[in-house]
Amino acid sequence: MGSIFENMQGVPLNHYIWFCAIIFTIGVIGVLVRRNAIIIFMSVELMLNAVNLLLAAFSVHHNDASGQVFVFFIMALAAAEVAVGLSIIVMVYRNTQSIDINVLNRLKW
Amino acid sequence: MGTSVFYFVATLSVFFALMVVFAKNPIHSVLYLILTFFTFTVHYVLLNAQFLAVVNFIVYMGAIMVLFLFVLMLLNLNKENEPNKSALLRIVGVIAGGCLVVTLIGSLKSVAITSPLVLKNPSLGLVENLGKELFGKFMLPFELSSLLLLSAMVGAVLLTKKEEKTNG
């Protein structure tokens, strides 16, 4: 497996930063543009993944394993978040017969 | 082959991420999200973070995607019943996202680290090294995350349980 990385040497760190910024922004656009609650959740997952990849890249850059441990914790947190969030969506659907985010606008008051 | 693998996979994941957001059918969105996560797994392998690659594969592509698909099928939402936002709101959303990416990249340009990524310690992302780290320095957070998962499980079960009609 080391040989794979030998071929990879030469990707500058800021290309990783740009790539993760772009993926993160796609997630933000998804949250802003879509109204389907499940797709909004998927966009949040995209944002979490962009941050994960950036943490792993910086962990390699600094030769410090703590970054990869943090990625592991973020994955555990994402699993918990998805379980609770999807059950909330199921409850909303059961009460309103829709997962359109706009039916929840009464939560504002 | 050099570094072209990274750029190829990065292009693929940007494309699939865009498809997640802009696909009409929610089922197609979930399938594109699976492809996006697969490309992220390839990125982890390219960074020689093998433990993270395997965990990403199992947790994201296995568990989380099954949850998404399961809920979509259960709610019978695989038809296009999403009322579209007005075109103005969509354009404003995309412009806001464009501003965000320009700001991020522009602000990070001043601290640009152009040195290529070099793996000094080849066993950095292997299970042995990460296990020592996880059960040494990060013992307490590791145990706390088990509590987090337990409470999430209890919360999910409680939330989705049908309420009994109380006639009292």
pLDDT at position B117? 75
User: Higher-confidence residue: A78 or B84?
Assistant: A78
CA distance B19 to B110: 31
Cα angle A12, B53, B35 (rounded to 5 degrees) comes to 90
pLDDT at position B111? 75
Cβ distance of B152 and A99 shorter than 8 Å: no
Q: Report how many helices (DSSP H) and strands (DSSP E) chain A contains, helices first.
A: 4, 0
On the question of pLDDT at B163 being above 60, the answer is yes
Q: How many Cβ pairs closer than 8 A exist between chain A and B? A: 259
Q: A5, A51, A105: best mutation site toward chain B, by most B Cβ within 10 Å?
A: A5
* A93 lies within 8 A of chain B by CB: yes
Instruction: Please give the single-letter amino acid code of residue B111.
Output: V
Which sequence spans correspond to the domains of chain B? 1-81, 83-125, 138-168
* A101 lies within 8 A of chain B by CB: no
ipTM of the complex: 0.88
* B152 lies within 8 A of chain A by CB: yes
Fold type of domain B1-81: Four Helix Bundle (Hemerythrin (Met), subunit A) (1.20.120)
pLDDT in tens, B40-67: 999 999 888 889 999 999 988 888 888 8
Chain B, window 39-58: residues with a beta carbon less than 8 angstroms from a chain A beta carbon? 40, 43-52, 55-56
Cβ distance of A60 and B46 shorter than 8 Å: no
Confidence of residue B18 (pLDDT cuts 50, 70, 90): very high
pTM confidence score: 0.88
pLDDT in tens, A5-28: 565 567 888 888 889 999 999 999
Q: With contact defined as beta carbons under 8 Å apart, do A17 and A43 qualify?
A: no
CA distance B102 to B97: 9
User: Higher-confidence residue: B112 or A81?
Assistant: A81
